[in-house]
Chain A
Amino acid sequence: MATDKTNLQLVVNGILNENPIFRLVLSMCPAVGISTTVMNGFMLGIAVLFVQVFSSCTISLFKNVIHPRIRIPTYTLTIATWVTVIDMVLAAYLPEAYARMGIFVKLIVAFAIITMRLEMFACKESVNASFWDGIGMGLGFMFGMMALGFVRELLGLGTVLGYDVLGFKPLLFFVLPFAGFFCVGLMMAFFNYVEIVYKRAKRA
């Protein structure tokens, strides 16, 4: 079965319709744990994008030789290999950002979103489609993390990407670690609200 979507549609699908964080509610751990600034979200987003794209391409490339009964272990080991690569690259070239993200880079190996995309998409589709689907999912994850980081950094510290925007700190509460739960909950409720208002306007 081949997908009938164009490359652009695949990317947009990952960012909007099937956004990993706000729509599929997967990979919540980093969304709560380290989304305190835009930069953190961006860095982890890059790492996830890398792992997602390369794992998708690898599985898509070998899909005909993987026996269905061992497909889940194969996915896991493929992801683990690419996570090891990005883990070592980040530790070598960006030690500061790596230290801030802590254990979460290694934990990409257990992110449900990547395994799910391999199972739902890459094992059936062509390498080209899988590549663009991986890009879409990675960008969608990055977008979600950066949106969360933007809200928390702006409200908590009054800054965006480290630059002082507001000049004061409206709600310091939001940069504290546990506020991630509140922030994700409130943003989901906000998106639900927008959806309800949109539907009501359409009906009227």
Chain B
Amino acid sequence: MHGMRRILLSLVLLLGLPVLAQAQELIAGKSFGKAPNEIVVTFAGPVDRAVVEDPANYRVYEEQDPDIKLALESVVLADDQKTATLTFAEPLNSRLPHVVTVSRVAESGVAATFTVMKPYLGYLLSILISALLINNFVFTKYLGLCVFFGTSKRKDTAKGMGLTFTLVMVVSAIMSWFFYQFILKPYDLNFLQIVIFIGLVSLTVQAVDTVLRKVNPALFNAFGVYLVLVIANCVIIAVPLILADNEYNFFESFMLALGAGGGFLLALYLMSSVRERMELANIPPTFKGVPIAFIVAGQFALAFLGFSGLTLF
């Protein structure tokens, strides 16, 4: 337990470092503004209004595309002569780090270059929340429905299935990430994606099965039956494909897998709670069983649509 905490602590430090390392003398603070097309820069001392409000003195681009200069419409300096708001022609993609260069502001005439980015932990959490709620794999991506309808009859089953799924998903996503970054990409073997990923998933399931049987027989008796169902399921194979498509790094992949698994668990639990109650309800004979389950799932999907505008970080 103690070692776990130390690892977590060093993880937090590691993620926080890039933010600390960018401290500059001229620039006291920078962030994305309230509107999607704004960047707010705070200077350390009062600056020359004529120089700061001239858009020609700025060069802004996304860190990964240094050649594409973003069109700056206007710069407004607040009355305190310190805070400048940069307004762009197009909304910015605030998920990516943006590099801003300001020339002629400093007295020495040296241009100041700095990176504007969201706190990395917040970005990681936003991936988790997005996979969990906004892009829930069951209700908004329509994946894993066979297992979803098959195992959501009782709450106990739903919980067991959801936990097994999350475990297998995280392990297989991490393995797939390593394979994708260090074998498939360097050797130009991208066309083997499907074969490799499905192989890794089967391997993970087999490994979890074997390990669980030895280490924790009680848990194996409870969850073992679901493991077979996991292989033939599209949620499991969708996660590696998505993380390869989006070029996620290790932590992002981990968060995506965790969010996808948690989302599946959430969906199964919600659905099983409703279906347990439906057993007592008086349902027309034509709708009994699967048809009414589909209607209920449709209503859940409608409800999850409400998360679509959610931005937390």
Q: A192 contacts B146, CB within 8 Å? A: no
Check: B78 CB closer than 8 A to any chain A CB.
no
Chain B interface secondary structure, helix, strand, loop or mixed? helix
Q: How far is the CA of A81 from the CA of B199 in the complex (A)?
A: 11
* Chain B positions 39-86 with a Cβ under 8 Å from a chain A Cβ: none
Q: How far is the CA of A33 from the CA of B193 in the complex (A)?
A: 23
Q: How far is the CA of A186 from the CA of B296 in the complex (A)?
A: 11
Shortest distance in angstroms between A143's beta carbon and chain B's nearest beta carbon?
Answer: 19
Q: B194 contacts A28, CB within 8 Å? A: no
Q: B143 contacts A84, CB within 8 Å? A: no
* Chain A positions 68-93 with a Cβ under 8 Å from a chain B Cβ: 72-73, 76-77, 80-81, 83-84, 87-88
Q: How far is the CA of A29 from the CA of B152 in the complex (A)?
A: 16
- A110 touches which of B236, B290, B301, B302 (Cβ 8 Å): B236
Give the size category of B's interface with A: 35 or more
Residues of B within 8 A of A29 (CB): 142-146, 234
Stretch at the interface among B89-97, B170-178, B237-245, B262-270: B237-245
Chain A interface secondary structure, helix, strand, loop or mixed? helix
Nearest B residue to A189, CB-CB: B291
Shortest distance in angstroms between B163's beta carbon and chain A's nearest beta carbon?
Answer: 20
Nearest B residue to A22, CB-CB: B290
- B195 touches which of A81, A190, A192, A193 (Cβ 8 Å): A81
Check: A27 CB closer than 8 A to any chain B CB.
yes
Residues of A within 8 A of B139 (CB): 178
Shortest distance in angstroms between A20's beta carbon and chain B's nearest beta carbon?
Answer: 11
Q: How far is the CA of A73 from the CA of B195 in the complex (A)?
A: 11
Check: A185 CB closer than 8 A to any chain B CB.
yes
Q: B191 contacts A84, CB within 8 Å? A: yes
Q: How does the 8 Å CB contact mask read for B168-207 relative to A, with 1 for contact and 0 for none? A: 0000000000000000000000011111001100100000
Stretch at the interface among A2-10, A52-60, A101-109, A159-167: A101-109
Q: B145 contacts A32, CB within 8 Å? A: yes
Check: A95 CB closer than 8 A to any chain B CB.
no
Q: A185 contacts B293, CB within 8 Å? A: yes
Q: How does the 8 Å CB contact mask read for B211-239 relative to A, with 1 for contact and 0 for none? A: 00000000000000000000111101110
**Chain A residues in the interface with B (C-beta under 8 A):** 25-29, 32-33, 72-73, 76-77, 80-81, 83-84, 87-88, 103, 106-107, 109-112, 115, 177-182, 184-186, 188-190, 192-193, 196
A-B contact pairs, 15 of them (CB 8 A): A25-B146, A76-B198, A84-B195, A106-B237, A106-B241, A107-B143, A110-B232, A112-B146, A177-B301, A181-B295, A182-B295, A185-B297, A189-B286, A189-B291, A196-B285
17 further contact pairs, Cβ within 8 A, besides A76-B231, A185-B293, A192-B285: A28-B146, A28-B149, A29-B143, A33-B141, A76-B198, A84-B191, A103-B241, A103-B242, A109-B194, A111-B234, A178-B139, A180-B298, A185-B287, A185-B291, A185-B297, A186-B291, A192-B291
